[in-house]
């Protein structure tokens, strides 16, 4: 009986670990999708802080539909020439499920350099001056990523998964500072 319980616990922990690995791989596909169209020869590689940006206010932010709807930016499907609102893409169910993932930010602090595209360079410095992204929050075929360069811009990306690829459906600029 004792061995049976140990075997069942092992099977349960193995399936949880496999599910977690699968989610992690999807997160890196999302990070790579954000930088997919970057012209490296013209602009160079995107430089990201090696650590995920821990933004505990992310739940309040993604739940504030009015703020996001009124922020500068767009939500559209350019291939089919359809405009969307944030609320049409992200439902309350999505937000509730993504909210539960915010506690995972404490466990995934560093970006795995082996899973990012060659268009991204990780900064070895830790001086809060490099662009940083949050751990992507995923529910079904939708994801949200918060990005900040810590000085003058904060963006919110909403991605959807279509035909196995993550596509940016929404980019909202939450904060933008211009210096004269």
Radius of gyration of the chain (CA): 18
Query: Greater confidence, 65 or 19?
Result: 65
Q: pLDDT of 16-51, one tens digit each?
A: 334 456 788 899 999 999 999 888 888 788 889 998
Q: Would you say 51 and 132 are in contact if contact means Cβ atoms under 8 Å apart?
A: yes
User: Residue 149: which residues within 8 A CB-CB, separation 6 or more?
Assistant: 130, 131, 132
In this prediction, residue 55 carries a pLDDT of 83
CA dihedral 151, 154, 28, 86 (to 10 degrees): 180
Strands 137-139 and 46-49: unpaired
Average pLDDT, the chain: 84
* 3-class DSSP assignment, residue 53: coil
Q: Would you say 174 and 156 are in contact if contact means Cβ atoms under 8 Å apart?
A: yes
In this prediction, residue 56 carries a pLDDT of 78
* pTM of structure: 0.83
Q: 60-94 b/e with 16+ CB inside 10 Å = b? A: eebeeeeebeebebebeeeeeeeebebeebbeeeb
Q: pLDDT of 133-147, one tens digit each?
A: 999 999 999 999 999
Q: pLDDT of 78-102, one tens digit each?
A: 888 899 999 999 999 999 999 888 8
CA dihedral 148, 153, 158, 164 (to 10 degrees): -60
């Amino acid at each position: 009986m004792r061995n049976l319980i140990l075997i069942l616990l092992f099977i349960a922990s193995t399936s949880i670990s496999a599910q977690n690995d699968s989610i992690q791989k999807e997160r890196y596909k999302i990070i790579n999708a954000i930088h997919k169209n970057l012209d490296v020869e013209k602009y160079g590689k995107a430089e990201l802080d090696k650590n995920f940006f821990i933004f505990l206010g992310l739940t309040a932010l993604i739940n504030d539909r009015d703020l996001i709807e009124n922020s500068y930016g767009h939500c559209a499907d350019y291939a089919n020439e359809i405009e969307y609102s944030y609320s049409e893409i992200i439902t309350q169910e999505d937000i509730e499920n993504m909210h539960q993932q915010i506690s995972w930010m404490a466990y995934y602090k560093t970006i795995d350099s082996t899973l990012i595209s060659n268009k991204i360079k990780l900064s070895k410095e830790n001086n809060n001056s490099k662009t940083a992204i949050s751990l992507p929050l995923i529910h079904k075929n939708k994801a949200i990523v918060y990005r900040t360069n810590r000085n003058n811009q904060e963006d919110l990306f909403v991605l959807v998964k279509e035909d196995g690829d993550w596509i940016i459906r929404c980019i909202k600029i939450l904060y933008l500072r211009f210096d004269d």
